[in-house]
Chains A and B, each alone.
Chain A
Amino acid sequence: MTATNEVVRLGSARGGWLRQFGWRHLVGLLALAFSLFPILFVVSASLNPLGTLSSSTLIPPDTSLENFTKLFGTTSFSRWFLNTLLIGVLSAVLSMFVSAAAAFAFSRYRFKGRRIGLVSLLLVQMFPQFLAIVALYLIFAEITDLYPAIGLNTSWGLILLYLGGALGVNTWLMKGFFDTIPKDLDESAKVDGATHSQIFFGIILPLVVPILAVTGLLGFINTVNEFLIASVFLTDDSAKTAAVGLYGLISGERNANFGVFSAGAVILAIPTVVLFQFLQRYIVGGLTSGAVKG
């Protein structure tokens, strides 16, 4: 294929290249423009010193960091951002760990109730946690009475809650990966006297680190983007996540706060965009095998 392409390109005139590749670049550029213009808009709105929605354009008339100083000076954004990182990182890592452990059991052991367990996980997966939002709210209102430290308006309560969804979301995916690791590996380790925990932590986990990284990243992004439960649970200004806090910024005065909001959006995007570029190769692999991002 490549050889014939070369011949065509060398032998034909410019019209040939246009017919071969020109329209493809045109489609590519259009797709690019569609993808990028809202991002360009937020970035330039964040730099726009006027800071209103009506004065925001694709290319800012003038640039300053005023919106950023306002963001950190007049709102609790730094607090929201830290809450988001704490909730996102902890719930992603812990979810990853509990579902990897469960996947290990399902992949490596045959026990009573295994099949039922796997099928019920599939079923549970179809009833997303947020559908039970009413019940969750009422349960956590009760928990708040008993244990204020893990109740409503705390990061810990939300992390525990997100952990409840961990098995349903990731176990099947991870079991699939664990199944692809040859059993001979753990068999021979067992013969050498390794215990089950040495096999799990020492052999299996290191082999799936790239997968863990990607599923963890997607879990982190999902948590950052989780709005429904977080908006019901976190109403105190100091307890909010960035998503809930930023929403509050522009739900009242949309036009006036838009610049400050955009500055927050840009900062919130930095960690995920950087990680994404970094892990892009693995992410494509992880996605095609069934991970869904919210």
Chain B
Amino acid sequence: MSDTTEISEERASHGPGHRRPRFGLSGGDGTVSTGRLVIRIAVLGVAAALALWAAFPLVNQGNWIGLGILVAVTALLFYIYLSPRVIPAKYLIPGTLFLIAFQVVPVVYTVTTAFTNFGDGHRGTKQEAITAIQDASVRQVPGSTVYVLSIATTGDPVSGDLVFLLTDPGTDASFAGTAGGLRELPAGAVRADPDGKIRQAQGYTVLTIGQAAARSAEIAAFKVPTRAGALYGQGLSRAFEGAPQQTYEAGCDCIRDAASGRTWTADESDGSFADQQGQRLAQGWKVGVGLRNFTDVVTDQEIRSSFLKMLLWNFVFAGGTVLITFALGLLVAITLNRPGMRGQRVYRSLIILPYAMPAVVMLLVWRDMFNTEFGLINRMTGLEVNWFGTPPAAQVAVLLVQLWLGYNYMFLVCTGALQSIPADLTEAASIDGAKPLYAFRTVTFPLLLIALAPLLISSFAFNFNNFAGIYLVSGGGPFPPDNPNAGATDILITYTYRLAFGGAGAQYGFAAAVSVFIFVIVATVSIIGFRRTRSLEEIN
């Protein structure tokens, strides 16, 4: 997408022997009006300012790769807009940059994530996992002192380094604990309440309750190293000496529990610590797992059965939606598309009204109309169907909603297509004595299909991933009692969403693998479909 090969065409506007400037703030003909020069300088100036703005945080974080990319992109932009030669690139670059940043990179990231076990419990490095396990297993050292705690700092109350001012209630001795260790304070330097809580100390600023509360997360993570372990704050007024029960031992590459003696050995292929029975600690780390996320779908008994069920329903849902909306839309279009019939316009503009309504809120309205106790549908029909309680009822309900939402669109496009079929074709058929239905079947319908096939394929592809259509109406439910992750109306994209953002702990790696599956399926269906309608060959 760089150089134009149509330089000859470009040259038509320049006189013979006219030398085109290679660079400069001028147009293709070498001259430029002041106004456009100003605009160009302004636009590039804004680009430079934005680049500068973007550079500061990168420099602060020492993110040199990011900075390198930023500089390269900015240089590329300046080159493209200052050089008179790369004309197509001037028009392509804005969209392409966005496309790369927010579509291509995420897609590549998704695919690479699909080969990892990334997710809750597998986020960071092994070292981070070890730290987390040790911190989580801290228990009070038996027989150790519980100190009275005041939070203080040596600097500014908002951001200064934290200090724990501690009083031993047994001996009334005072200490200052920092990240470096514990130091006893001379008795005269401290003023404390009768219960031992230090109010003032020389060289330290004691935080007020409000100031301390604002830094509670920092305080919770703060610890003062001691011989037996470390001093940890318990709330804002007590501190105890604790030691981790579970510690990492490099020799066996394992985690050992001091009390029970159990060990969990690191499994590098799985990113977790597991004992002899295969029981894993909840905290693991992120590793590549190869194709496991993909093969799990086939080999893991539990995942396979629910995945296949979902896949099947996904096809039924997308195909069924296209079929019923097309059928009803076509029926209404044929019925109303009759020359001489009055009120066609009125019918049309009212029938397509749902198409103009915001779909998201109308999906929610439908969900509530299906509500068992309060819903309009049960009240009006006198039924007491628990619409989202049983799989068949829920499936009928979501399809019905899609019919309402989608048939208007099909009605519109069918009407358009019907009107574009030349009248003499159908007339010829009727003169030949063909019955109307026969003429429709043999002449009109095939022509319609040819015209509308690409739309039907797009509609299928859209509905295959119709997240809102499921998530907002049935929520994917009802769920079988043994599997809260895969419901009867779940399609793959709602399943993916639940895996990644549902309450049960994020499984980004597996969710990404399901995304890749969806992509492969939709791409296959679309390519086959478009091949058939020959849209692909129209690249000219």
Task: Decide yes or no: A166 and B6 within 8 Å by CB, A35-B408, A138-B508 being known contacts.
Answer: no
Q: Would you give the 0/1 interface string for B503-536, flagging 1 where the beta carbon is closer than 8 Å to chain A?
A: 0000010011001001100110010000000001
Chain-B contact segment, one of A62-70, A191-199, A206-214: A191-199
* Complex alpha-carbon distance, A224 and B360, angstroms: 8
Interface flag for A19 (CB, 8 Å) = no
B538 to chain A, nearest CB (A): 9
* Complex alpha-carbon distance, A261 and B459, angstroms: 29
CB-CB under 8 A from A31, the residues of chain B are 328, 332, 347, 351, 411
CB of B109 within 8 A of CB of A228, answer no
User: In the complex, which of the residues A124, A131, A273 has the most CB atoms of chain B within 10 Å of its own CB atom?
Assistant: A131
CB of A163 within 8 A of CB of B102, answer yes
Interface flag for B42 (CB, 8 Å) = no
SS class, residues of chain B in contact with chain A? helix
Q: Interface size of B by Cβ–Cβ distance < 8 Å?
A: 116
CB of A38 within 8 A of CB of B467, answer no
CB of B365 within 8 A of CB of A38, answer yes
CB of A146 within 8 A of CB of B57, answer yes
* Complex alpha-carbon distance, A58 and B379, angstroms: 11
- Which of A32, A119, A254 is within 8 Å of B350, CB to CB? A32
CB of A147 within 8 A of CB of B341, answer no
Counting contact residues on chain A (CB < 8 A from B), the size range is 35 or more
Within 8 A of B (CB), among A250-294: 250, 254-255, 258, 261-262, 264-265, 268-269, 272-273, 275-277, 280, 283-285, 287-288, 290, 292-294
CB-CB under 8 A from B459, the residues of chain A are 292
* Complex alpha-carbon distance, A167 and B94, angstroms: 10
Chain-A contact segment, one of B166-174, B235-243, B296-304, B370-378: B370-378
CB of A101 within 8 A of CB of B94, answer yes
CB-CB under 8 A from A215, the residues of chain B are none
Interface flag for A177 (CB, 8 Å) = no
User: Which chain B residue lies CB-closest to A38?
Assistant: B365
CB of A139 within 8 A of CB of B526, answer no
* Complex alpha-carbon distance, A248 and B495, angstroms: 21
CB-CB under 8 A from A294, the residues of chain B are 359, 462, 468
User: Which chain A residue lies CB-closest to B401?
Assistant: A38
- Which of B87, B95, B539 is within 8 Å of A99, CB to CB? B95
* Complex alpha-carbon distance, A65 and B412, angstroms: 35
A93 to chain B, nearest CB (A): 13
CB of B110 within 8 A of CB of A134, answer yes
Task: Decide yes or no: A131 and B91 within 8 Å by CB, A53-B375, A54-B373, A250-B368 being known contacts.
Answer: no
CB of A135 within 8 A of CB of B99, answer no
User: Which chain B residue lies CB-closest to A53?
Assistant: B374
CB of A131 within 8 A of CB of B360, answer no
CB-CB under 8 A from A163, the residues of chain B are 95, 98, 102
CB of A254 within 8 A of CB of B368, answer yes
CB of A165 within 8 A of CB of B1, answer no
* Complex alpha-carbon distance, A147 and B411, angstroms: 46
User: Which chain B residue lies CB-closest to A147?
Assistant: B57
Task: Decide yes or no: A247 and B472 within 8 Å by CB, A101-B95, A126-B526, A190-B12 being known contacts.
Answer: yes
Within 8 A of A (CB), among B394-414: 404, 408-409, 411-413
B518 to chain A, nearest CB (A): 6
- Which of B364, B379, B500 is within 8 Å of A133, CB to CB? B500
* Complex alpha-carbon distance, A98 and B96, angstroms: 9
* Complex alpha-carbon distance, A258 and B103, angstroms: 37
CB-CB under 8 A from B461, the residues of chain A are 126
Interface flag for B124 (CB, 8 Å) = no
Some 28 contacts from A to B, beta carbons below 8 A apart, are A21-B341, A28-B343, A38-B365, A42-B362, A53-B374, A110-B6, A112-B5, A131-B107, A134-B110, A135-B109, A137-B500, A137-B501, A147-B57, A164-B99, A164-B106, A166-B99, A190-B13, A193-B13, A224-B360, A225-B468, A243-B358, A243-B360, A255-B371, A265-B358, A276-B355, A287-B416, A287-B455, A288-B417
Q: Kindly list the 3 A-B residue pairs having the minimum CB-CB distance in the complex, ordered from nearest.
A: A164-B102, A276-B356, A98-B95
